[in-house]
């Protein structure tokens, strides 16, 4: 099984709400720490295939794989600065987005 150059996770946008979501073990997660990490091409293909089905099922849009590095705590962090931003929110408003307690989409 060919290994990937970098491990990867699958990102998408929730169709109804617009939030950035990550494919986890059982479904979509809002927290990237719970994202499923692919280390081989087959694993990456499996992520993509699930993502495509979810697009067809009108759950998410804009599905794609992003290269990550995995920390000692097992948490994947994207390599590119653009995807790093998607994990957090606007750098100029630390009170908004996932970086804020509860996140922008938490209306509780």
Partner 1 sequence: MTAHDPGLARPNAPTTTYRYDEFDAVFVRERVAEFREQVRRRLEGSLTEDEFRPFRLMNGLYLQLHAYMLRVAIPYGTLTARQMRRLADIADKYDRGYGHFTTRQNLQYNWPKLVDTPDILESLAGVEMHAIQTSGNCIRNVTADHFSGVAPDEIEDPRPTAEFLRQWSSAHPEFSFLPRKFKIAVTGADHDRAAIMVHDIGLRILKSDAGEIGYQVVVGGGLGRTPFVGKVIRDYVSRDDLLAYLEAIMRVYNRFGRRDNKFKARIKILVHEKGIDEVRAAVEAEFAAMDRSVFSFDPAEFERIAAFFTPPPYEALPAESAKLRTQGVEHPAFGNFLDMNVSPHRVPGYAIVTVSLKPIGGIPGDATSQQMRLLADASERFGFGELRVSHEQNIILPHVKQDELLDLWKLLDGAGLATANAGLVSDIISCPGLDYCSLATARSIPIAQAISKRFSDLSRQRRIGKLGIKISGCINACGHHHVGAIGILGLEKKGQESYQITLGGDPTFSASIGEILGPGVSAEQVPDVIEHIVDFYLAERREGETFIETWRRIGHARFKDVLRREGEDGADI
- Alpha-carbon distances, residue 30 vs 35, 60, 104 (angstroms): 9, 13, 11
The single residue among 1, 5, 17, 108 that binds partner 1, judged by CB under 8 A, is 17
Under the binding rule (CB under 8 A), the answer on residue 102 touching partner 1 is no
Residue 1 CB, nearest distance to partner 1 (Å)? 28
- Residue 73, both tokens: 């705590």
How large is the C-alpha radius of gyration of the chain?
Answer: 14
Q: Where along the sequence are the contacts to partner 1 (CB under 8 A)?
A: 13, 15-20, 55-58, 61-62, 80-82, 85-86, 89-93, 96-98, 104-105
């Amino acid at each position: 099984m060919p290994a990937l150059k970098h491990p990867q996770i699958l990102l998408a946008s929730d169709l109804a709400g617009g939030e950035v979501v990550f494919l986890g073990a059982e479904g979509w997660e809002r927290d990237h720490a719970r994202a499923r990490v692919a280390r081989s091409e087959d694993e990456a293909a499996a992520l993509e295939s699930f993502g495509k089905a979810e697009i067809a099922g009108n759950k998410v849009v804009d599905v794609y794989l992003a290269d990550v590095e995995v920390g000692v705590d097992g948490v994947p962090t994207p390599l590119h600065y653009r995807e790093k931003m998607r994990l957090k929110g606007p750098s100029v408003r630390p009170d908004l987005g996932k970086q804020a307690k509860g996140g922008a989409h938490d209306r509780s």
